[in-house]
Amino acid sequence: MTDSSPSDADDASPPEPLVSLPKSLRHELKDPIGPVETDPHSLLEVAGEPLVTVGDVVTYHVLEAGRTPDVAIVDGITKREAVDAVIRETVTAGETVDVENPQGALTDALIRALVAAIDDPDPVTILVDGEEDLATLPAIVAAPEGASVVYGQPDKGMVHAVVTDERRAAIRSLLTRFDGDPEALFSILDR
């Protein structure tokens, strides 16, 4: 039996990010990384393997179109508001892995969960307590050539980023300019 006082639980602090997005780079993330699709069926006709979705609404539309993403990363939020109960229940119906990840950052826990989920032959949903938006970037770095990473572009549709060596190199270059420890990030992603 372990002796723990009530104050031990109060001392829990949020995880330290490996890297965080500096304000000076925010403008570089405004443009979509691939073509924007509005029809999930059309997107799925050309989607590669594995299929990684980032965002609750995107994941929901892919599921409703009849495809379970190999990896789904969701946080229960869209446009800074909680998603409705139907979307929340639909996107978290399968196996989920819970991680904490603060806004504008990438934590060790999220990156390790992402890599494990990509390597898992079964579909995995990563449920983020915090924000999942930046997970698109390490997903592109970690996913194999030809994989599809799909994320939402608010009020536009779904961005379909096909993983290529050129795209992976561009994202790696961007991540090296993040604050924090990009080398630690890459040591996990380059398994």
Burial class (CB in 10 A: 0-12, 13-18, 19+), 31: exposed
In Å, what is the CA distance from 62 to each residue of 47, 54, 102, 104, 125? 11, 11, 26, 25, 13
Would you say 57 is a known binding-site residue? yes
Would you say 155 is a known binding-site residue? yes
Q: Residue 4 and residue 68: Cα distance in Å, rounded?
A: 42
Would you say 64 is a known binding-site residue? no
Instruction: List phi, psi (to 5°) of 156.
Output: -120, -50
Q: Which residues are annotated binding-site positions?
A: 56-58, 75, 132, 155
Q: Which residues are annotated binding-site positions for GTP?
A: 56-58, 75, 132, 155
